[in-house]
Amino acid sequence: MIKFLLRTRGPILTLREPYHAPKRQEALCDLNIIFGGFVGIDTESGKINYLSQHPPEKSLMNGRCVEYDAGARVIMPGFVDCHNHLLWAGSRAHEFFARCKGATYHEIAEADGGIAYTRQKTLDATEDELLENGRRHLRMLADHGVTTVEAKSGYALTKEGELRTLRAFARLQSEFAGTIVPTYLGGHLIPPEFADRREKYIDEVIQTLAVIRREKLAEFCDVFVDPLALTREEGRRILLAAKEQGFLLKLHADEFGDDGTSALGVELGATSVDHLAGMGSESIKKLAESGTIAVLLPATMFFTQTALNAPVRELIDAGAAVALATDLNPGSSLVFDPSFVLTLAGLRMGMACDEAINAHIKNAAFAVGRGYTKGSLAPGMDADIVVLDTGDYRELGYYIGADNVDTVIARGRFLKRRGCLTDTLAGEAMLE
């Protein structure tokens, strides 16, 4: 039964074709739009159960059904933020302003700033402080239309500290109608106390994997391969152990140069390789021929003032499945707004708005292993839905810093609801 019915005279971006596969090449330009229509939700299952240009038969709406008239506004799937560090303690505002004066991300990290700085603050924080930080970030993401968010650990870098972060993600999920996809990023950095016995730290990460698996605290395992962090061989050791234990894989790869890490990700069958600003043409070819998703993070290149940009046109032309995300974190991208990622994807990488929307929703859902339930509007998919406060979806990247997300629904429940739409409710909302 339809318990909640959204209608618009404006466009519904369904993103539905192809079913159950990421969009590549020309398909990336197609938002599969219906002009004017109805989206029905079964609020008990949190699934879409009706989508059509025509109103549903009365028999499908037996009992109480709330109608929600969006006027001529855009209805679209919620954003999927498939690369996100979600939770940490402390601020690195001082680093941001040092960068404004010309210091680079790597110079700051080498001078005892960077991930190691956030690590100390995170280890010193109480559990409540961490949870409050996570709640605040989730609120800000949801306000910008994010209904699914990946959450990476990686700011504690001790066994107990990483488990504490992952347990905090589970607690946040129990309070949040949207979806959190947890990732263990024990390989974010070699902690300073392991500087001259790096192998021992890798052993510890591998031992921690078993506990995480047992307690089902993470789906993905990620590593950061970079001169600041892990070598490719150290990353490989962790990922091979993770794969053996049933984790899906992600890699921070080729971020500031072509270090062969994206090729390693393809070789290991990773779900995604992320960043890629420095990747070379050989790696592009390998990636395009694989099922691995290329997650591009233009906000990171902007925030760190790095001139490089991921070779998005080459990737798309070669046939790679490209996704976008915020990379929300305190050091290299304190960005909560997918709309701003769309702006940068357009201005700095030459992506069309339609391509960028598909990349930040449909393909991003595949990058977190949720392509079968999220990232498009169709019967059977989760009811993760955004209503914009405009009838023109291109305003998403074009209106910079604007609050153009009117209403956000995750699995049939409101995450955000603004006045102009509630006025048109044909009864008290059944949803919280």
In the complex, which residues of this chain contact ligand NIG (CB under 6 A)? 114-115, 118, 224, 252, 255, 300, 327, 329-332
CA distance 50 to 7: 11
Q: Residue 180 or 299: which CB sits closer to ligand NIG? A: 299
CB of 110 to Fe ion, least distance (A): 19
Q: How far is the CB of 359 from ligand NIG (least distance, A)?
A: 17
CA distance 348 to 362: 21
d(C-alpha 25, C-alpha 385), whole Å: 25
Return the one option of Fe ion, ligand NIG, none that residue 376 interacts with (CB less than 5 to 8 A, by type).
Answer: none
Q: Which of 90/391 has CB closer to Fe ion? A: 90
Work out how close the CB of 275 gets to Fe ion at its nearest, in angstroms, rounded to a whole number.
7
300 binds, among Fe ion, ligand NIG, none (CB under 5 to 8 A by kind): ligand NIG
Tell me the residue nearest to ligand NIG as measured from the CB. 331
Write the CA distances from 352 to 135, 299, 315, 357, integer angstroms.
Answer: 33, 16, 14, 9
Q: Shortest distance, CB of residue 186 to Fe ion, whole angstroms?
A: 14
* From the list ligand NIG, Fe ion, none, partner contacted by residue 330 (C-beta under 5 to 8 A by kind): ligand NIG
**Binder of residue 43, out of ligand NIG, Fe ion, none (CB less than 5 to 8 A by kind):** none
Q: Do 386 and 374 touch, CB atoms closer than 8 A?
A: no
Binding mask 320-359 for Fe ion (x = CB under 5 A): -------x--------------------------------
What is the spatial distance between Cα 335 and Cα 62, in angstroms, rounded to a whole number?
43
Name the residue among 178, 225, 236, 231 with its Cα closest to residue 414. 178
Phi first, then psi: what are they for 167, rounded to 5°? -70, -35
Q: Give least dist CB 261 to ligand NIG, A.
A: 11
- Determine the distance from the C-alpha atom of residue 358 to the mean position of all C-alpha atoms in its chain, rounded to a whole number: 13
Buried b / exposed e across 356-389, counting CB within 10 Å, b at 16+?
bbbbbbbbbbbbbbbbebbbbbeeebbbbbbbbb
Overall residue count recorded for the chain in this entry = 432
Name which of residues 281 to 300 contact Fe ion (CB under 5 A): none
* Residue 12's binding partner out of ligand NIG, Fe ion, none, with CB under 5 to 8 Å set by partner kind: none
Tell me which of ligand NIG, Fe ion, none is bound by residue 382, counting a contact when its beta carbon lies within the kind-specific cut-off of 5 to 8 angstroms: none
- Residue 343's binding partner among ligand NIG, Fe ion, none (Cβ under 5 to 8 angstroms by kind) is none
Q: Where are any strands of DSSP class E within 188-320? A: 220-224, 248-253, 272-275, 293-296
DSSP β-ladder status, 179-187 and 146-152:
parallel
Comparing CB distances to ligand NIG, the nearer of 4 and 169 is: 169
Q: How far is the CB of 361 from ligand NIG (least distance, A)?
A: 20
Q: Which is nearer to Fe ion, 275 or 417 (CB)?
A: 275
In the complex, what is the shortest distance from the CB of residue 1 to ligand NIG, in angstroms, rounded to a whole number? 44
Contact call for residues 36 and 73 (beta carbons, < 8 A): no
Q: Rounded to the nearest whole angstrom, what is the least distance from the CB of residue 71 to ligand NIG in the complex?
A: 39
133 binds, among ligand NIG, Fe ion, none (CB under 5 to 8 A by kind): none
**Closer of 45 and 306 to ligand NIG (Cβ):** 306
Intra-chain end-to-end CA distance of the chain, in Å: 19
CA distances from 76 to 35, 125, 198, 215 (A): 12, 38, 47, 35
Dist. CA 310–CA 330, nearest whole Å: 21
| Distance in Å, CB of 300 to Fe ion, minimum | 7
Judged by CB, which is closer to ligand NIG: 325, or 387?
A: 325
Residues 298-327, one symbol each (x = binds Fe ion by CB under 5 A, - = not), give -----------------------------x
User: 95 touches which of Fe ion, ligand NIG, none (CB within 5 to 8 A by kind)?
Assistant: none
CB 306, min distance to ligand NIG, A:
10
Residue nearest Fe ion by beta-carbon distance: 327
**Amino acid in the structure at residue 399:** Y
Please name the residues in contact with 276: beta carbons below 8 A apart, sequence gap of 6 or more.
253, 254, 255, 262, 294, 295, 296, 310, 311, 315
CA–CA separation, 371 vs 317, rounded Å?
A: 22
Please give the residue ranges that form the binding site for Fe ion (CB under 5 A): 327
